[in-house]
Chains A and B, each alone.
Chain A
């Protein structure tokens, strides 16, 4: 065990280990593709092994309120999804607006309300497809509606403890410090003001939202994509020249490259080049037309060698998917990984921000947000989506449930859950667990495989974050930083709160709201104690400021969800997001000062 009494530059060895761990985790999360839960568990391991926290302290987070509430909430969401409540909502809230401004209002008001009740991430995930279809109907670029969707959900999520995951983390830490649990609607008033101001800002500054065409729409209309098709062994064209076989200039495109079975590349392709079985023919042109070659010339879309076109299931379907943020596929090409073999799919084409990517599709190193056109098996759609949900998001993912009695039952359970917890009849943890249990007992959610709906990665992150808070308090870091900031601000509580909110929101913009809240909570709480102030305004301002990350796609899980579907670039969020961040920060501080006496 390391000697914790040794002091170096004002901090103990344990404090330095904590600082090093926290800073490295922030760097790892903003700069690498290591999954967040692995980074957090790694940090927990370091703090445990070096003796900074005890086993009991290290593991306490996994049984804490945020973890249990989230786990139960996943079951509730599964119930609402399976009984069709969420399906009904997405189908009926959007309507038929007159113009773009009207469409923004029709989108942002209901989604922000739903985010407050169902969690912002759930709402954005639900609405992405509906909004994309809606945007096509209204003839508005999808990005012009997806960004407001994400902003509205984040804003709405500020109104309740369940709205954003970080709210629950802050509430959980507050309870562990004070023994008092916060009401589920505690942040409602400031959250509501921020939501109204935020929605108004988006309406006012909507011209700063970039108009990007959706990538899969480009797959249908553009004349410039690269498509890869394989010549099966028994194809009659084997031994013919590309021209004689009618494979050189085809309807909608032309042959630009041949990749032989031994990976020899023929480019440019002369018209008298022979066709050999196992050749991969790379065409540039319009995808739909080129894919007709499968039917007319017996070519195949396949990741492996095909002996006969009859070996290929003709019922295989084309599906579009986006490479998600943090996906393991980023930086890899299909030939370098076993994704196609594992899932029995074949990559046909890749689009990046609605444009053609040069070269053989299966050799292209993928980036976050790339759109992939995949040929998939006719069955097992749900399984394909479930197994790969951390790698890809499928565009045409539609689960259409039957509406019926259970739809009403599950909606009633949700409403009752909010009533019971808002009147403090039961603690939030007990209420959500009760609601999840009733959902299962009344058959709104299938009991078998119920754990499938729980996102364990998020629970691990939430469980591990608590340890940061413990370590920062225990090693005296919170005390030192708190004192320093107090000195800098001459002990002015308003200024201290403003500085801490600004710092927390900046960290949240580049790392994650959950991580930022766990790190800043002990410092902010300690400052309130040192100043002799009521800690609640400090805690509430922290809760709200970590969710003010509008300027970067990694600042919020909802922004990451819309990044691919909206064909966004990294900097697209900054244009409107920086203004949102600054204005909402100022508004938030004034509202907190007005509502909570210090």
Chain B
């Protein structure tokens, strides 16, 4: 599981690649700390190369959202494949996030 952080057009973009399962979650959580100080930036979570997300992965996404909202930042999710979209639908996360 790899993550890459980039700043593109004033947005914070985090690229996820591989399987975000329970084992990978602690490392990914550590790496997403880069998104904590997001005042004045919107956040894009790019999932184009994400193959799988577990409930612990969803918790990380939710933490990012809960941190960004009070700071006035939007959190967008980009490039979900059909399988991941189904997980987001089933867990009710489609109602929490914005999608690009």
Contacts and interface: CB of A to CB of B under 8 A. Distances in A.
A87 to B, nearest CB: 48
A276 B91 contact: yes
Given A238-B95, A239-B96, A274-B62, A262 B55 contact: yes
Contacts of B59: 274, 276
Contact of A239 (B54, B87, B90, B92): B92
Contacts of A233: 89-92
Interface in A260-288: 260-262, 264, 274, 276-278
A106 interface: no
Interface in B53-100: 54-56, 58-59, 62, 65, 87, 89-93, 95-96
B62 A261 contact: no
A235 B90 contact: no
B22 interface: yes
A258 to B, nearest CB: 9
Max count, chain B CB within 10 A of own CB: residue among A233, A235, A261, A276: A276
Contacts of B55: 260-262, 264, 276
A276 B22 CA distance: 15
Contacts of B92: 233-235, 238-239, 276-277
B22 A278 contact: no
A557 B22 CA distance: 51
B24 to A, nearest CB: 13
A305 interface: yes
A276 B55 CA distance: 8
A116 to B, nearest CB: 60
B58 A276 contact: yes
Most buried by A among B55, B59, B87: B55
Per DSSP, chain A at the interface is: loop
Contacts of B89: 233
A306 to B, nearest CB: 10
Contacts of B90: 233, 261, 277-278, 305, 307
Contacts of B22: 264
A278 B91 contact: yes
Contacts of A238: 91-93, 95-96
Contact of A277 (B54, B56, B91): B91
A305 B87 CA distance: 12
Dominant secondary structure of chain B at its interface with chain A: helix
A260 B92 CA distance: 13
Interface residues of A, number: 15
B74 to A, nearest CB: 15
A164 B30 CA distance: 73
Interface in A295-327: 305, 307
B36 to A, nearest CB: 17
Nearest to B59: A274
A274 B59 CA distance: 7
A239 B56 contact: no
Nearest to B21: A262
A382 B93 CA distance: 41
A456 B92 CA distance: 49
Contacts of A234: 92, 95
A390 B93 CA distance: 43
A307 B91 CA distance: 9
A556 B93 CA distance: 56
A236 to B, nearest CB: 9
A261 B56 contact: no
A260 B93 CA distance: 14
Contacts of A262: 54-55
Nearest to B87: A261
Contacts of A261: 55, 87, 90-91
A235 B96 CA distance: 12
Interface in B20-45: 22
Contacts of B93: 238-239, 276-277
A307 B56 CA distance: 21
A262 B53 CA distance: 10
B96 A264 contact: no
Nearest to A231: B92
A264 B96 CA distance: 22
Nearest to B65: A239
A260 B54 CA distance: 9
Contacts of A274: 59, 62
Nearest to B58: A276
Interface string B8-23: 0000000000000010
A233 B87 CA distance: 11
Contacts of B91: 233, 238, 261, 276-278
Contacts of A260: 54-55
Contacts of A276: 55, 58-59, 62, 91-93
Interface string A247-268: 0000000000000111010000
Nearest to B52: A262
B28 to A, nearest CB: 15
A90 to B, nearest CB: 49
A262 B55 CA distance: 7
A77 to B, nearest CB: 50
Nearest to A275: B92
Nearest to A237: B92
Contacts of B56: 264
6 contacts: A235-B92, A239-B95, A261-B90, A262-B54, A262-B55, A305-B90
Among all A-B residue pairs, the 5 with the closest Cβ atoms = A277-B92, A260-B55, A238-B92, A277-B91, A233-B92
Given A238-B92, A305-B90, 5 more contacts: A261-B55, A264-B54, A276-B62, A277-B92, A278-B91
